[in-house]
Each structure stands twice: as structure tokens, then as C-alpha cells.
Amino acid sequence: MLIGSIVGAISGLKHGGKKINGTVVLVRDNVLDFNDFGSTVLDNLHELLGGGVSLQLVSAQHGDPSKGFKGKVGEAAYLENWIGNTIIPIFAGETAFSITFDWDEEIGVPGAFFITNQHFSEFFLKSLTLEDVPGHGRLHFDCNSWVYPADKYKTPRIFFANQAYLPNEMPKPLVKYRADELLNLRGNGKGERKEWDRIYDYDVYNDIGDPDSNLDLGRPVLGGSSKYPYPRRGRTGRPPSKKDPKSESRLPSSSKATDVYVPRDERFGHLKMSDFLAYGLKSISRSLKPKLEDLFDSTPGEFDDFNDVFDLYEKGLPVPRSLLQGITENIPAPLLKEIFRTDGERFLRFPTPQLVHEDKTAWSSDEEFAREMLAGVNPVLIARLDEFPPKSTLDTNIYGDQTSKITEEHIKDGLDGLTVNEAVEKKKLYILNHHDSLIPYLRRINTTPTKTYATRTVLFLKNDGTLKPLAIELSLPHPQGDQFGVISKVILPSKTTGIDASIWQLAKAYVAVNDTGYHQLISHWLNTHATIEPFVIATNRQLSVVHPIHKLLVPHFRDTMNINALARQSLINADGIIETTHYPSKYSMEMCSFVYKTNWVFPQQALPADLIKRGVAIVDSNSPHGLRLLIEDYPYAVDGLEIWSAIKAWVQDYCSFYYKDDQTLRNDTELQSWWKELREKGHADKKDEPWWPRMDSLHDLIETCTIIIWISSALHAAVNFGQYPYGGFAPNRPSTSRRFLPESGTPDYKELESNPEKAFLRTITSQLQALVGVSVIEILSRHSSDEVYLGQRSNPEWTLDKEALEAFEKFGEKLGEIEKKIAMRNKDPQLKNRVGPVDMPYTLLFPTSSEGLTGRGIPNSISI
């Protein structure tokens, strides 16, 4: 660039000719947007006219008295050879630029730099590396941030060197810059956020309803009230809706997925595979779902037998060309190739789910039904019964007597000669209990097309370590009112192949319906996506990028706000994919709020605490991880405890390096502000709960950070990436039911007698719901090509502290050892729950994976 070169030459004479050579790595916007090649021409024009990209070093050693002793700022240096750059990048899409700074003794060792972008378009700044800083040597700045044209910012963009500092250790010339940058990230809480904004702020869930288009699509505001408490989301500042001022207006249907505001650095770019997956969700919501609805309105379709379901994997679905064209023209080409395979006019041909890959019938066995409570996609609910019959925690003044109607007479033949009391004492009775979470909403849910029950399933732990279902209770609210309790049917396993066996299969299907809805709304959405978002916001608002805890946690937040914002647009919104495919229907998010209110306790999100709470483990100092599992062959718990312990050891090593004593932690102003805001704003509806850690000891910090990382990585992996392997075959994980258990003498009962497969399929998820639902979980279960897994970092120079890097390397090595141990356990024939009758090894907590549908792998963050 001509003008920049002249300025640099004059400055070089002024400072005696000493230079610092550096390399800037960035990704140009047009690489990430295949519709934006025109920006290259405009940027090149700006270069020729003197409007390039400049950097100024900021001193970490010398303050400027005229500016309150803030670090002195050096002369501007410009990126060289923007036009015709020939430096070979390290990774595809990246561009490396040389830059030369005139070194000034008054600057000394820099600790930060300002960057000014005078181009027309933004770019993604990866890093700056200075090769030979006098008195220091090599200095690296890890940036990873979008830099927009200068007129989009009120203050210049600043980046700090890759050294971690507690607030009181920050070099004094940089202290004010550090504080100012946090103020910029917090914003002022006013106005509608724009694409280029970097502001993190909180809001309630008032954007999932759409009262302006249809008052029936209005939904309660979640968060900010005792009736509907909820974690906070990122604020967008969109205006209120016209018909309900408490609700935020929705984006128009023509909007792009990227039109939903999230702070710019929470969204990388839409040539990234994980963003393609996100676009897939929007495509299903906006293109595929309505087109399929049109098709099924004109030609209603049902699965008549299980062979029809298997045709989805072997043949695909016949679809008219006109409909196919209407879908494909609205879906980006790479998505069409990756997600929606086509074969002539047969559209939506899905990959065979792992569950039915080896055996097409084993999924329906009682053994597999029970095994998936320990090694399925929702293995986080099974609990030990410590009293019989099972009791309810619901308020009897409101809901009457909710005690289970299962009696000893029902189950005594399955207890291997024990009495019920003996089975309880020997810790042999377990329960999958969906009763209390569903009963408060069941009467209303059943006024929708859903027709279902609240279920309790009682199981017996056999001597071979497997679980045997003993009875299923199907409950409905009493027709005379909630205060009269429930009416229940108790269904028992059948020893024959007739009508009793068919009724038992339907009873298991109602359990699966309950479990699938609870899994998607609570185990998956609420307990990972929704509850972590406030941590993302608080971390960016209160912890500087150079704070060691920010450096520890931020890889576990990658893309979470982005995918959550998209979910509010297409998945959990009124009449969205979840409401139209899962049994709670329009009450889905209300039920989610109820469970958050009654069940969510932060310390109990720790795996050991969760296992103890559910009664499936007891404290035992002589056992690995300090716990003894009462179901020894519990794959999720066995593998999970190893991952948990590895995370905790890593966090302990890391935190102990920066905090030598508890007083240092208590004096950390940023950390204390972070924890205060997380409780009082991020989870404001639970701010007064006594169980929050006090954050006055290293123990509190280690436990808290371990929980955050566990939720963001391993817990999310355990409940997300098995969705298609287990649920891609809809009869195994139906998401709704459409009719009740048939009564003897009715046409439905006769159908169940004469054609049990047809009756089963008419009861559960419809063909349309199955197609939309399976399309979604196929996307949700995929790993992107650029996934960063637990124990990995996208940049090996994420910190300059050798001790932290060594501890992280040890963590990665430990995870490698765990992966080998999991593989060995899966080959042990004595561990019957590891593989089960479907011949499907439990691999959801394998730390690594390849791209695609693998049923394994723990990404660092909740990114899909």
C-alpha cells in the first residue's frame, strides 16, 4: 500500500531504524461468504486509496502521563501486500500478512495492540505474532475475533498478548485498557443490537411466541417471574410485538438464520460445517416441514408395518417432482448433498440407525428397553427405589394423592424369590419416573392431538447386572379434577405372544414417548443448552480475555449462543419443530420451566452428586472416584465418572497454578463479579437459593469450573450424539402418541388383536412427524468437520504459561487412556449392558470422533 509505505519510511527514520517484524493471520469475509465476492474489489480499492488495515502496539511497561498513565501507543503499521498476497497460509481460507513495526524504546515490550480496519468489509482476525521484540523475543497474540470497518465501532479494537493475568497482576499501563474492554462488551442495555455488535447482555425468553401472526401462537414469558422461572438468554433488543408488549417481535419468515443477533464472535462463518448443520435446522423448519404438511394434507400417509419404516433407510420416501423442487430450491446446495440425499424421485432416504443395523427386532425386547436407561440417549434419569410403593413429591393440596398404584402383588413374581422389602433393602428395585414432571400439564396436553399418559416403570436389578422391567403404570388426571389424584392402569410384562404382549409393547411405547419428550426438552435443551448460556454471557461480560478462568472456559462456549438463538427461531418456538413433533405440544416450554423451578440445582449437575441424588451410587472412599455404583454395569456412569475425574484433575492443576491460596481468589475482583452476576442476572430466578457455591475457596472454583466444562462437553455429548443412532428408528423412540391404550371390545382393540404392528404405528408418532423429527435428529447427531474435541484446543498457543500447557497435555493423554479403556469394556462379554441385544456398543463418551454420524465423540462445547 503506497501511502502506508511512505508513512512507515518516515517513521523508521524517526525511530532510528529498529524494526519488529510480525505476521498477521486472518480470514477474509469473502472466503466465508460465497455470495460476497464483490467485497474483494472494494477492499482492494480502499487499499489503493490509502484506507488499509493498521495496527498500533501498546506498551505494557510505560504509561502515558497525558492519558492517565495508560500504556503508550506506538505509530501505525500497515498490513503489507493486501493485493496479491503470496504468503502460504497454514490452513485453507486463511491469509498471512507481513507487518513491520518501528520499535520505540518508549513503548518497550508491548502487551496489546489496536487494530483499525479502513476496508469496506469485515475480516476474522486469527492472530498476530511478533518475531523478535527487543528485550523479550517472540510474542504471540491469539485474537479469534471479527474486525469490522472502523466506522462500526465507537472505540478502536484492542487485543492483548497471550499471557494470563489475574486483575491485580495486570501490568499497570494495561489495567485501564482491560477495564474499558469489559465495559465495551457489556454495553448499556439499550437499543436493538446490530450484526457487528460484540455486546453480551441478558433477557428473558419472551421471543418464542408469535402473537403478531396468530394469537394462538402466543406463549408465556419464561424468566422473571415465580410462576415461570427460567435461565436468561442473550439480549437482542428487538422491539416488542404489536399484540403483546411483553413479547419480543419475531423475525420475518424471509430472514436468514444469521439475522438473529448474537455477539459477532459467537458466530464464526457460514462455510463452516457446524453452521451448515444449523442452516439445515432452519431449512427443515422453513422449507421441508410445510412442504411435507402440504403433501400429507392431500395424500395422508401412515406406516402400516415396520417394513414401511425400514423403507426410509432402504428406499427413501416417494415424493412428487414438483414438491421436491419446492424444497430443494430453498436449501443451500452443500446441505442438500450432505443432509438430504436424493435418489430420483425418492427423497429423504436416511442412513440406517445403528440400533437396527445388526438386528431389526432386538430393539423391541425388554432387555433393550431397560438397557437404554443405562446406556441409551437419556441415561440420566434411572433412580433407585428406597421405598415402595413409589411416592410423589407433588403438592397433595393441589394434586391429591399421587402415590403409585403398583402393588407387591403386581411385581412379586419378578423378584427372584425376594419380598418387596428385601428387594428394597438389597438395593434391587429401580424406577424410571416421568410421573411428577408430567402430571401438572397432562390434562392440558391431552386436549391437543397428543393422547398420552404419565408413566412410572419399576425394574429389578438381576444378578447378571442387567435390569428387568416388572411393571409400567400409566396414569391420567382424575376426570373430576386434579385434587382427586389420578386414575392408573398397571401393565405387566407378557409371557405370551397374544394381545397381552401387544398391550405390553404399547405400554413401553408410552414410556418411550415420555422419555423422548423429557430427554429433548429437559435432559438436552434445559440442562445443557439453556442453563449454560448465562455462563457464556457472564464470562464475557466480567472476565477479561486475559483472565485465566476466561482462558479455561471459553473453548467450552464456542457456538452455544449461536445454536441457542437458532433454536429459539426454529426448534423451541411456537409451532416450531419441537412443539409439532413432541408430545407436550404447545406446553413444551412451560413444562420445561416447571422442571427448572422444581428440579434444577447447580451443584447437583456434577456427575457424582447426580448419581448420589438418584440413589444409584454411594460415597465410598475405597472405590474409584470416591463412589461405588450400585449398578456396576452402568455404562454412562462408569465412563462418565472417568471423564469427570479427568476434567476435575485438569481444572485443579490449572486453577491451583494461578490461585496459591483462598485469599487470592477472594481478592479477585473480576472473578467475584462474574460469580455474583451469574447468580443474580444469569440465573436470577434462583439467585436466593442456598445451594449456590460461595466462591470463597479454591475448592468452590474447581468444582464450579468442572461442572461447567462437564455440562458443556461430556453431558451434552451423552444426551445429544446418540439421538439418531437410538432414535432414528422412530418406533424405538417415538416422540408423541396419538391415542390411548385401547379398551376391550373397541375397534382399536380389535385392530390391536388382528394387526399389532399397524395398531402400534397408529398409536405413536405419525409418518409426517417421524419424517420431520428424524430429519432434525439426524442433523443434531452429526459432528462437523471442524469439531474441536475435549482435550484439544484450536490454537496450541492459547496461553504462554508453560505449567498450564503441560497440565493440559497431561489431560489430553488421560483422555486417550480412557478411550482405550472404554473400548476394552465394550469387548467384555460379562458387561451385558455395554452392547446389549441390539449389538450396539456404548460409545457416546468416547472422547474423539471423525466427522458425521458416528455415535461417539465429546466436543468441547454445545455447538449443535
221-238: per-residue pLDDT in tens?
999 999 999 999 999 999
Annotated catalytic residue 529:
yes
> pLDDT tier at 625 (50, 70, 90 boundaries)?
very high
Which of 309-318, 574-583, 646-655 shows the lowest mean pLDDT across its residues?
309-318
Annotated catalytic residue 716:
yes
Annotated catalytic residue 524:
yes
Question: Tens of pLDDT along 645-674?
Answer: 999 999 999 999 999 999 999 999 999 999
pLDDT given at position 737: 97
Task: Give the C-alpha distances (Å, rounded to integers) separating 244 from 216, 570, 694, 850.
Answer: 12, 20, 39, 46
pLDDT given at position 348: 66
CA 686 to chain CA centroid, Å, is 21
Q: Looking at the predicted structure, is the pLDDT value of residue 271 above 50?
A: no
Q: Is residue 649 a contact partner of residue 683, using CB atoms and an 8 Å limit?
A: no
For the chain, percent of residues with pLDDT exceeding 70: 87
pLDDT given at position 215: 85
pLDDT given at position 522: 98
Which grid coordinates are listed for 392? 410423589
Question: Tens of pLDDT along 146-195?
Answer: 999 999 999 899 999 999 999 999 999 999 999 999 999 999 999 999 99
Q: Looking at the predicted structure, is the pLDDT value of residue 443 above 60?
A: yes
Q: What is d(CA 141, CA 128) in angstroms, rounded to the nearest whole number? A: 5
User: Among the options 434, 529, 547, 625, which is catalytic?
Assistant: 529
User: Among the options 270, 524, 550, 556, which is catalytic?
Assistant: 524
Among residues 37, 225, 219, 228, the alpha carbon closest in space to that of 121 is found at 37
In a 13 Å sphere around the CA of 648, the CA atoms on its Cβ side amount to: 16
Neighbours of 41 (CB within 10 A): 11
User: Among the options 107, 716, 783, 822, which is catalytic?
Assistant: 716
Spatial strand order in the sheet of 342-343: 317-318, 346-347, 342-343
What is the SS3 assignment for 689?
coil
Question: Tens of pLDDT along 343-378?
Answer: 444 456 789 999 999 999 999 999 999 999 999 999
> pLDDT tier at 341 (50, 70, 90 boundaries)?
very low
Q: Where are the alpha helices (DSSP H) in 203-258?
A: none
User: Among the options 117, 378, 720, 833, which is catalytic?
Assistant: 720
Q: State the Cα angle at 765 between 764 and 771, rounded to 5°.
A: 150
pLDDT given at position 267: 83
First to last CA, the chain: 42
Which of 36-50, 249-263, 689-703, 745-759 shows the lowest mean pLDDT across its residues?
36-50
Question: Tens of pLDDT along 277-313?
Answer: 555 655 565 556 666 666 665 555 788 899 999 988 9
Q: Looking at the predicted structure, is the pLDDT value of residue 491 above 80?
A: yes
Residue with cell 373430576: 480
pLDDT given at position 159: 98
Question: Tens of pLDDT along 599-615?
Answer: 999 999 999 999 999 99
Q: Looking at the predicted structure, is the pLDDT value of residue 15 above 50?
A: no
Phi, psi of 764 (to 5 degrees): -90, -160
Q: Which DSSP helix (H) or strand (E) runs through 265?
A: none
Q: What is d(CA 818, CA 624) in angstroms, rounded to the nearest whole number? A: 14
Annotated catalytic residue 556:
no
Question: Tens of pLDDT along 517-526?
Answer: 999 999 999 9
What is the arithmetic mean of pLDDT over 92-114? 91
Q: Looking at the predicted structure, is the pLDDT value of residue 38 above 50?
A: no
Q: Is residue 82 a contact partner of residue 21, using CB atoms and an 8 Å limit?
A: no
Residue with cell 498476497: 85
Q: Which DSSP helix (H) or strand (E) runs through 138?
A: strand 137-147
pLDDT given at position 5: 42
> pLDDT tier at 496 (50, 70, 90 boundaries)?
confident
Annotated catalytic residue 162:
no
What is the arithmetic mean of pLDDT over 381-405? 97
pLDDT given at position 287: 58
